[in-house]
Amino acid sequence: MNSNSRYCDDYEPCKDPCKRDKKPSAPITMVKCGAPGSISIPVATLAGTTFTLASLTTNTAGICNPCTKIEVAMNITALAFLGSINFQVFKQCRNQFQPIPVGAAFTFSRIVAITESTTFSFFVCDCDTCENECCSYTLVATVTTVTVGDLNINNATLGAITASSNCECC
């Protein structure tokens, strides 16, 4: 161990004996909104093609055991569209070389070529972030089947609500 190391024999994540003299802090909540993005997916777009729709960055400085709820909302206009698109949130924090997926992929699919406008929304939770960490969240659309017709995605937005856990360790 070096001079900056701290060692505790009876460490428990939420009852750190090294912090006994520190009083529990009040829960902290942070709200962050990203700028809306729009794209058009043209006729005959190949499977595997990806589009970045929106992004935002959060900073968990001062938040004990942070947990972030990422909310996604968009307007979709299908013009005689037939195909399938996956939407997934990815995160990249400092010292990470590649973005990693957060939660499952959500699918917008039409098996009959129709013209319609609809809203599409979902949310994912990310409770795997450290204190004092900046992370960028990105919404990515991936074409999963060759498309027929046009698909316009408008006002795709990300919103983040980050809160401290109910643990009294900070």
Give the span between the Cα atoms of 15 and 11, in whole angstroms. Answer: 7
Query: Of all residues in the chain, what percent carry a pLDDT higher than 70?
Result: 81
**Tokens at 58, concatenated:** 């959060």
| Side-chain half-sphere CA neighbours of 22 within 13 A | 12
pLDDT in tens, 56-65: 999 888 888 8
Reported pTM: 0.80
Residue 62 lies in a domain: yes
CATH number for the domain spanning 33: value is 2.60.120.660
Give the span between the Cα atoms of 108 and 84, in whole angstroms. Answer: 6
Q: Cβ(83)–Cβ(146) under 8 Å? A: yes
Print the domain residue range for 149: 28-164
Q: Tokens 């195909």 sit at which residue?
A: 83
| Structural domain total, the chain | 1
pLDDT in tens, 76-124: 999 999 999 999 999 999 888 999 999 999 999 999 888 999 999 999 9
